[in-house]
Every structure is written in structure tokens, then in C-alpha cells.
Amino acid sequence: MNKYQFINELKKELLLRMTRAEASKAVQYYVELIEDRLESGESEALVLENLGSPRLLAHRIIGEFLERYEQDKQEGVSHKKQLRVLKGREDFFKNNMVLILALSPILLPLAIATLSIAFALVITAIALFFSIGVAVIAVFASMVVSFVAFSIGLVAYPIFMITTGASGSEIIVVIGFFLAGVGLTGLFALGTYKLTRLLFRTIYTAATFRRIRARVDETLFVQPNQPQGQGQGQLHLEQTNTSGS
């Protein structure tokens, strides 16, 4: 291991538990120290051997901060600076460790189930919108291309036929064919566009969609100590929504 590897490893370990700013301060200190010791004539191997494993060193640094934080807490000293040194979630898990462990047989499957359902829903929604989007764009693009092709044909092919000396009836049949093509593709292109707009507008403003949103809002933000009003509130919400849509 050379000094760069040592420092990288130290930084990686510190960042697991410390804020970026605090970790980089510690790293800077050790970089400076290693450089100063090398400058004083010590070999890189010796310096790194003295410092030991970067993992262990990182754990010691973190441990010192944790110890100090606990000490301050016991003495009732609130060190806002000290608090920000360690990542917040660490404190949360440490303080609620017993509770979390006790509930883990329930919490863990629940969390996994919730996460997978949420994940599946998100993926489905994205896939649905993506596929609809792609299909619509493909249909629309093909219609536009055909429309252009038929339009060119409508002008170019009769001219070509005149140069080869075809009869008037033949030319009229060909013109009719191309006209039908232009009309149909134009209609389809316009239809796709209008239908898509209608579809998305319907989804977005659908009454069911609104009702689901209202229900979600209600379950998430309902006040737990609201007296009796829960049933009434629900009814009220639904009424306003149906009348609104």
C-alpha cells in the first residue's frame, strides 16, 4: 500500500459515518502529516506502518467524535458543531436501536413489501407512459411520412405518366389513388394527434384520479386528534370533488 492508497481508503471509511466537510478535514490532517514525516527523512513504508490500517484509523477517529458527543450529551452541553460532525441517521439508529431490533421481524418484511410494491408501481407507470408515448409517436411519424410521400406522388406521378404518353383515364385513376392516400394519411395523422391529446387530458382530469388523490391526501394529512369529524370530512371531500370534476 502506498500513501495515495492509504489516503483513499481512509477517506472512503470516514465518509461512511461522517459528513463530507468533517471527513475532508481529517484527511487533510493526515495528508499533511504523512508529507511532513516524509520530508523529515522517514521512509514511506515506516510512516504508513506507524499509522496502521486506514480502516482502523478511521474507526478510531469516528469513535473519538462519538465519545465526545456522548460526553457532551451527559454533561448537558449542546454542541451544534459537534452534532453536525456525524451523519444524522447514525444518531437515530443508535437511539432507537432496541425498538428497531424488537420490531425488525415485522418491520423488515413490511419494509421490503412496501418497497417492492412502490418499485413495481413506479416501473409500471413509467413503462406504460413510455410505451404509449413511443407507440403514438411511431404512428404519428409514419402517418406524416406517408402523407408527404402521397403528396409528392400526387404531383410527380401524373407528370411522369404524361411524359410516357399515358391515356387521360389512366392518369385520372392514378390521381384518384394518390388523392385517397393523401386524405387517409392526413386524417390518421390528425386523428392520432387529437386522440392522444384527448386521452392524456382525460387521464389527468379523470374524476377517479382526483378521488384517489383526495383519499391519499386525507390518509396522509388527517389530524389524529380531530374529534368525530373524520367521517364527515371524508364525505365532504368526496362531495366537493365530484361536483368539481
CB of 66 to other proteins, least distance (A): 11
What is the spatial distance between Cα 197 and Cα 199, in angstroms, rounded to a whole number?
5
- In terms of Cα–Cα distance, which of 22, 105, 102 is closest to 58? 22
**Whether the Cβ atoms of residue 192 and residue 139 lie closer than 8 Å to each other:** yes
CB of 46 to other proteins, least distance (A): 13
CB of 72 to other proteins, least distance (A): 10
Q: Distances from the Cα of 51 to the Cαs of 33, 45, 48, 105, 240, in angstroms?
A: 10, 10, 5, 42, 69
CB of 242 to other proteins, least distance (A): 59
Nearer to other proteins, 34 or 143 (CB): 34
What is the spatial distance between Cα 183 and Cα 186, in angstroms, rounded to a whole number?
5
Residue 192: exposure state from Cβ atoms within 10 A (0-12, 13-18, ≥19): buried
CB of 228 to other proteins, least distance (A): 52
Return the sign of the alpha-carbon dihedral for residues 113, 114, 117, 120: negative
Nearer to other proteins, 38 or 149 (CB): 38
Nearer to other proteins, 81 or 89 (CB): 81
- In the beta sheet, which residues pair with residue 18? 86
Nearer to other proteins, 68 or 73 (CB): 68
What is the spatial distance between Cα 239 and Cα 242, in angstroms, rounded to a whole number?
5
Nearer to other proteins, 91 or 218 (CB): 91
What is the spatial distance between Cα 164 and Cα 174, in angstroms, rounded to a whole number?
14
CB of 93 to other proteins, least distance (A): 23
Nearer to other proteins, 32 or 170 (CB): 32
Q: Which residues make up the interface to other proteins (CB under 8 A)?
A: 25-26, 28-30, 32-33, 35-37, 39-40, 50-51, 57, 60-61, 64-65, 68, 79, 81-82
